[in-house]
Structure 1
Amino acid sequence: MYLEHVNLVVSDIPAVLAFYQAAFPHWKIRTEGSGHWNSKPRNWLHFGDDYYYIAFSDHGEGKNRDLEAHQVGLAHFAYVTNNIEATISRLKSAGFEIAKEGVEEPYRKNVYFIDPAGYEVEFVEYLSDIPEQRNLTR
């Protein structure tokens, strides 16, 4: 079993798509369309590769949860990269700034960005293939 996709409700698909296109230059728009969700019109888009994707729907209202508060909800999600410096460079070149530097660890590097919809996204590069080392936290 594996995670195939996440579905993010946003208010501005093009703005969010620009962030993920910078992070994942090898991904593409797989499919898109429009319809209704609980009687509200929405546009939707699937962005990914042949196996994994992010679904975006633009029927969101209001702001995302306050990431510095203690509300229930999504804290962040993470993607593994084999070159964190290249990922950071692409995102910065697209106009996105680092939200938080990761904690210094001997077997991984990580960094956090906030996408235009207010979701915190972690990018991590592992420096070991040994699970006990990869999962070690201080």
Structure 2
Amino acid sequence: MIRLEHINLVVKDITASLNFYQSVFPEWKVRDSGSAEWSGKPRDWVHFGDDSTFLTLNNNAETVARDLLGHQAGIAHFAFEINNIKALQQRLEAAGFQHRTRGEDNPFRHNIYYIDPDGNEVEFVQYFSDLFEERNSTV
């Protein structure tokens, strides 16, 4: 078995990041938090998630995220499968976040992209089929 357990993000402001991700995942909670040193620099950290999956937010960011329109190495975006994309959009808009773009029209999935407070692009996808050939189609 292989599954993604967590994503470790370096952020400028943990509170701002938590505001975004709490809007995305209202059922998640802060699992743990603390202070540590990373490569000689102090940082605060938070584990935000459920019992099996979480985000680690670390507050020692010194630069902005990679240019999403550029060709630098790094993560272009990461995605979460959700079961109600409309409810997610309503929660994020109520928290003051506007989507960046939507995926192409597809009868088997809807997806929408947001930029988190640190410039990371996050995709959310809702599938309308259990068949992988339909989920992955480019119809």
Pairwise TM-score range, normalised by the shorter structure:
over 0.9
Q: Does 1:53 align with 2:30?
A: no
Unaligned runs of 5+ in 2: none
Q: Corresponding residue for 2:91?
A: 90
Q: Does 1:6 align with 2:7?
A: yes
TM-score of the two chains, using structure 1 as the length reference: 0.98
Q: Corresponding residue for 2:105?
A: 104
Per-residue deviation, 1:137:
2.1
TM-score of the two chains, using structure 2 as the length reference: 0.97
Counterpart residue type for residue 64 of structure 1: A
Q: Does 1:113 align with 2:117?
A: no
Aligned residues: 138
Q: Matches of 1:19 and 1:62 in 2, distance apart?
A: 19
SS state at 1:15 partner: helix
Q: Percent identity between the aligned chains?
A: 52
Q: Corresponding residue for 1:71?
A: 72
Q: Corresponding residue for 2:33?
A: 32
SS state at 2:100 partner: strand
SS state at 1:50 partner: coil
SS state at 2:107 partner: coil
SS state at 2:23 partner: helix
Compute the RMSD of aligned alpha carbons: 0.7
Deviations 1:60-87 (A, max 9, x none): 1011101011111100000111110000
Q: Matches of 1:35 and 1:52 in 2, distance apart?
A: 21
Per-residue deviation, 1:36:
0.3
Unaligned runs of 5+ in 1: none
Counterpart residue type for residue 125 of structure 1: Q
